[in-house]
Amino acid sequence: MARDYLKTATRTSTTDASEVHDTVQAILDEIEAGGDAKALDYAARFDRYDGNTLLTPEEIEAAIAQVPEKLKADIRFAHDNVRRFAELQKGTVADVEMEIEPGFVAGQKAIPVDAAGCYVPGGRYSHIASAIMTVTTAKVAGCRHITACSPPRPGVGVAPAIVYAAHICGADRIMAMGGVQGVAAMTFGLFGLPKANILVGPGNQFVAEAKRILFGRVGIDMIAGPTDSLILADATADAQIVATDLVSQAEHGYNSPVWLVTDDRALAERVMEIVPDLIEDLPELNRDNARAAWRDYAEVILCADREEMAATSDDYAPEHLTVQAGDLDWWLDRLTCYGSLFLGEETTVSYGDKASGTNHVLPTSGAAGYTGGLSVHKYMKIVTWQRATREGSKAVAQATARISRLEGMEGHARAADVRLAKYFPGENFDLSAHD
């Protein structure tokens, strides 16, 4: 049986590919040339904020004092989970070495990048969790300097809860600046900050484009598109929970795709019946986003069996993948393309988005087919080294000389020749290119 699309998207995440490149490039060029003053000009225009760019310790303490104790406790809970999971991840990377040949040792070393720039969205929503996810992982990785950057609100500044989260998670400086100008300030080392080696964190289309343009000059976590989510559900799934989970992710934005893949027509039809009512029950802004996302981007796909469901999911390579079906171990072993996987009704993408410990900065638009999300490893450079005795280098030098000459790289060959001549005078070696 071929996939049966009970609901088909009329738009995709690439339909509205924004033509913002020229605008973002111009802003970056002007800020690089104009430095702090030009960044402040753009901040005044777009952020409509004239307070301190880098928060002082006194301003941080004042912001923290505004955060309710119960919210502080929730932030500390989420931070602890993210920190412990990041520490677990870091433990999977070890410095190692091996003897390639007698006397010739090669090794691997994991070194954290020096400076990280963490962008924390603060426009329509205060993304407290993004501060936790980005700053905590950078801290656990061992970055020497971490800047948290978030858009200030006119007359208010950075949301106090974001300030608190960034502070307890280990940010060295907190910058009240949003958009392209914030990204540029971290990249170019403005306002006395060290130049960022890596930029991480979600943002709007202008932030995403700025990171894309700057990639190569600095590292980035990923090129992000609209968030997307897919649910795999069989006849054992609860239609109300499936529908609620779809709507919970559709509220991210008008162009956030959500997909249901199932082998049970009755479940699919029931979910499609429930979703519109759940959307209409949301607050206005959330409702508008979810309504458009469901109308234009959502799909409901009926498959013949679980193998076809799994193959469909791998083809989509979703950012978030939920399984509400029997035999969860089978799905865990079978599925290969996703940013983060949520197995069973007892967990949900919302847990991962906010507090369970896994990171919510994940690959979108099919990028999960080749990469994972933000983790402690993103901040670490896996580098190699080697050391040899003179005798240990003997066989390697001969092979290097011959391969180099075959490739036509005589300079490389002579770097090996000179060592053989020095270390083993009087010995004759066949260093000509292979026939």
**How far apart, in Å, are the Cα atoms of 12 and each of 46, 49, 238, 296, 302?**
29, 35, 27, 8, 19
Spatial separation of the C-alpha atoms in residues 154 and 88, rounded to whole Å? 40
Nearest to 118 by CA among 140, 88, 97: 140
Is 167 one of the annotated active-site residues of the chain? no
Contact (Cβ atoms closer than 8 angstroms) between residue 425 and residue 395: no
**Which residue in the list 251, 319, 345, 377 is annotated as catalytic?**
319
Amino acid at site 349: V
Is 319 one of the annotated active-site residues of the chain? yes
Q: How many CB atoms are located within 10 Å of the residue 296 CB?
A: 16
**Which residue in the list 127, 145, 252, 320 is annotated as catalytic?**
320
Q: Which residues contact 297 (CB under 8 A, 6 or more apart)?
A: 9, 10, 11, 12, 13, 255, 256, 257, 258
Spatial separation of the C-alpha atoms in residues 72 and 359, rounded to whole Å? 20
Spatial separation of the C-alpha atoms in residues 343 and 351, rounded to whole Å? 12
The residues carrying an active-site annotation are: 319-320
